[in-house]
Structure 1
């Protein structure tokens, strides 16, 4: 295979990510959440008691946009605010939020099956290794 330009490889990664984002938002819509909201639920399940700042970093949002998003999610009963040490406010999933998270997990599995699932186990392992290597900051 010819030497593929770096920009072309980078664009292919971005296109796959964009394909996943569009499909996730479309398939999550019947659950009443967006990709960012589901991702927030997913990260709260893995990091109970996370602060807004932590959630913003985990979901690639600004602190301000995460604050607005969290407020809407609290209003919908998907997450709740709990007192933390000092004046800190922490967040956790509600039972309703966990149900939406679990349903969203199934949506994500379907989206990834439609793309990455086309690869056999060895190809997926290679892709994972290569992406991990490219992400390595060392």
Structure 2
């Protein structure tokens, strides 16, 4: 499997897990469907959107599990724009403070994995 394929699969699995954990949040289900369609039509777009919202500064803050920075960044993004990629940040804005430590650790593992996989995707892919 290519790095891009692995990245897309991991991203979709993450949002699917969020949707399963928070079934009352219908936007997560819509995000999963949008990402699946995007993966079929143009998987590179998923990577581009991730890179846009999870820029190198945010990536470094994810790798050191800086939840305060990521929460502030998530709130700023939500207040200024909408994108299907925002489902990644939604959990920080809405549920982070009430989430169990176990769930927080699962989310950090997913996000770190996504950052590392995204970095492996060659920029030259069309």
- TM-score normalised by structure 1 residue count: 0.33
- Structure ranking higher on relative contact order (CA contacts 8 Å, 6+ apart): 2
- TM-score normalised by structure 2 residue count: 0.35
Q: Which has the higher helix share?
A: 2
